[in-house]
Structure formats: C-alpha cells, structure tokens
Amino acid sequence: MASIDPKYSIGIAEMDAQHARWIQYIDEFRATASGHLLEPAGVDAALHTLEQLLNYTRMHFASEERFIETHHYPDLEAHRHAHRELEAEVVKLLDEIRSHKTRTAPLKLNLFVTVWLMQHIMQEDDKYARFILGRSPPG
Ligand SMILES: [Fe+2]
Ligand SMILES: [Fe+2]
C-alpha cells in the first residue's frame, strides 16, 4: 500500500491510502504533461496518464462519498458537489488535450492538478476528517 506524505494526511487510514495512490496518479500525469506535448507521442502519454487519473479520481470520490455518508457528515451534499466539479474539470482537461488546445501550455496543466486536486485533500477532505475524528470516542 502506498504511504502518504504527512502533509497530505487527514488522519483516516483508509482515505489516506487512497489519497496516496491518487497522488501517485497525479504525479504520473504531471510527469507526462510537463514533458513533450508538442510531439504526438507526448500527447498520447499525457492522455493515457490523465485517463488513469480520471478513473482513479472517480473511484476515490465514490468511495469517499460512501465513507462520509456512513459517518453522517453534515456537508455531504456540498462535498459531493465539489467532487462533481473536480471531475468535470478533469474531463474538460482531457477533452482539451485530445483536441490539442492545451499542448503549448504544459505548465498550466501542472498547476491545474496541483492547485485543484491537492487543495481538495488539504481543505475539503480535511474538514470531514476533523468532523469524523472529533466525534470519535477518546482513546
Ligand atoms: Fe479525497
Ligand atoms: Fe473529497
């Protein structure tokens, strides 16, 4: 199982493990997207890693939504909405790369992933974690 960088840990083992794997997919995409998007092979590689990232993102979000629903997280609907928006952004990016609109802006692709996906863990996911852990009995 992948281990999480402590700065991204929300303190819930099951979700930390998924986030660790998710971050690996993000890193793989960043590595390809920062490379050779002016060459067809580079575009194909970026598309491939982004498709993998999208698949894992959907799996993780569905799993996380079930998890926080089980724990009666009061902001479940807002969290679901944030997930749908992030998924839509990833799909949009996939479409843009497919249509070669963004091949000249690899740096922007890196920032997109870093800012939107990673911030979601540290801000929104951390909120439900604090709620759930706060409700846990001591010890
Ligand atoms: Fe998450
Ligand atoms: Fe989330």
pLDDT 10s digits, 32-85: 887 666 677 778 888 899 999 999 999 999 999 999 999 999 999 999 999 999
**pTM of the complete model beyond 0.85:** yes
How far away, in angstroms, is 93 Cα from ligand 2 center? Answer: 19
Residue 36 and residue 103: Cα distance in Å, rounded? Answer: 9
Whichever domain contains 50, its CATH number is 1.20.120.50
Tokens standing for residue 80: 């679901």
User: How many separate domains does the chain show?
Assistant: 1
Residue 78 and residue 85: Cα distance in Å, rounded? Answer: 11
Average pLDDT, the chain: 86
Residue-number span of the structural domain to which 59 is assigned: 12-17+43-133
CA 69 vs. chain centroid, Å, equals 19
Among 16, 13, 32, 2, residue whose Cα is nearest residue 122: 16
55 belongs to a structural domain? yes
> What pLDDT does 88 receive?
93
How far away, in angstroms, is 133 Cα from ligand 1 center? Answer: 15
How far away, in angstroms, is 60 Cα from ligand 1 center? Answer: 7
103 belongs to a structural domain? yes
33 belongs to a structural domain? no
Mean pLDDT of 21-25: 95
> What pLDDT does 135 receive?
60
How far away, in angstroms, is 100 Cα from ligand 1 center? Answer: 29
What is the rounded end-to-end Cα distance, in angstroms, of the chain? 25
> What pLDDT does 31 receive?
85
Q: Which ligand is nearest to the CA of 57?
A: 1
How far away, in angstroms, is 120 Cα from ligand 2 center? Answer: 6
